[in-house]
Structure 1
């Protein structure tokens, strides 16, 4: 799964204003540091693994972390009927406002939802939360408080660890999934955002918007193994299915890296303004790249043919693509709502068709069930949409 980001204003240093629309936090935040208009969904190690953490642990800054503001709809305590017919949609309440990213355990049993809550009345940035939902019923199975500014989330192939980028605190949180606890906080660099995990689970790759670097995190030791420069405002990141190649979006450029060495093989201009989403097709032959389109509020999907490093196809879309996830022979794209709900595009090399089911207006992340029949979408508020394909 690839997940991908409007930069939120937080009371800490960050990227300069005017760097493009990205998904850098909840849209309701209005504190001033650096504003990037709109919305979109990567350095050396400064310390080792930190102490385990639970939902009541102090924040990394040393102050007590207040619980995120609850949503108006409580999390489900009894099963939520999932959609039965193709094109139908169900909304699962998460219980807290500010859904930002999500990941599904490989067996499809548990959905992890990263929540980056709106700023408090004093404009302070609150701790983020990962909520655990039963993917079959929508019932909440608990939560854990994480470091501040969660933007990216992945789960290990064995389903026992999750890794979350915390953009405000400049760390990656390592979460033990069975116990719902943070077992390490690893400093990785300035403003970590995009994240991917190797097929064997040995390495987590992180792109950093602030430092323009990509790092490789050793999951056995929770330390940074390697770091390499890629370009200013590195944010989105995707790893090929065989684990050999990274594609990284920074502004309107996509760079292709050797995953083993973090060296840049080539860089190509992919769009007009910014890259809003990235993923590989399931066979690894193509990378799909979401970017801004030729008209106001429109988007574009550029298809990169990896064997020749060229763009043989481009599609204009109704709205900016904010997230991708790939299934066999198809890529699903979440489109931002323009004055209404968001939508899903079912995209192949030859074209795209809309799914009839609406989703939230700010769909910043997608996940596909292992059988390819259910699509989960973060709605950007306090819900996750579930669409029957």
Structure 2
């Protein structure tokens, strides 16, 4: 990567030239094909080539340091890269939890040995990760988790179960919270990295209300984990886990506000649904005055949210990464996303009642399923109630209730 000395337009020219030479034209405007491996779908030769080229360039993780395989770009350069990719119908083929959550935490907290082992596979998109946090009896009270890791000399033996493990059925590795000391709650938790192909690991997908199964139950039955896969200090996993949650909420909030969480590529926008299904009056305005007001308020709120996400990202880059303020963004992002999907289904009218059948178009069915999926937006990545508690304690400094 050339050093552009802050000359963004010079970088734009370099990015445009590289993209035009390396992006397979057959993938243009086909985000599903471009991210096939990340979504557990068969990967075409063109999709694999695109992923390999982006991985080798480091542009799948554009702002990560070059010494860790990233692009070493500034936030501004990364935005330019995204603009140039959008211009030619290209999408980032590398993502998932390794990029969103574990990778940044590994860069910050990991030993050099763990970085050398795990970062390359994340950067290239070869290795997929899942998150072993929530348990049937430890959701909002995550620190109450009971999955045990027993010390057996040169390895740990892990037994227990996790739930709502997104993408566990596709994952190669799991970053997992386990109990290594039963005498203490928060101080008895450690952070282990578990190979999902290990004997004793069983995954069962959970079917959601919208018909998809992105979440799973994950069972660990006497799973051997080498001690060199302990991430962070023994019994010090809670500190690492909280930091990872900040990265998670930061990324989820950006996705929620932009409509990318759970939204199929063919999903309608609010403006499309309102214009096409409600129609315009003689003045060219949305015919339903009340819906017009609410759509306008939503679009303003969504735009303000995106600007705030961008500002928070710039502040995080200038400081020490995401802060507890990510809980504010996650809470607001969930509301924006749910409002958007409810407005779309309302605008569709009777066309928003479909589940299947020839009487409904694909965008209409996608809107209904996305609306149902969005019910989980205020649960995943920390419930809205938990995020409000974080804001109260760590941002506003309010005392615990007596």
Same fold (TM over 0.5): no
Specify which structure has the higher proportion of strand. 1
TM-score, normalised via structure 2 length: 0.25
TM-score, normalised via structure 1 length: 0.26
**Structure index of larger Rg:** 2
Q: Taking CA–CA contacts closer than 8 Å with sequence separation of 6 or more, which of the two structures ends up with the larger relative contact order?
A: 1
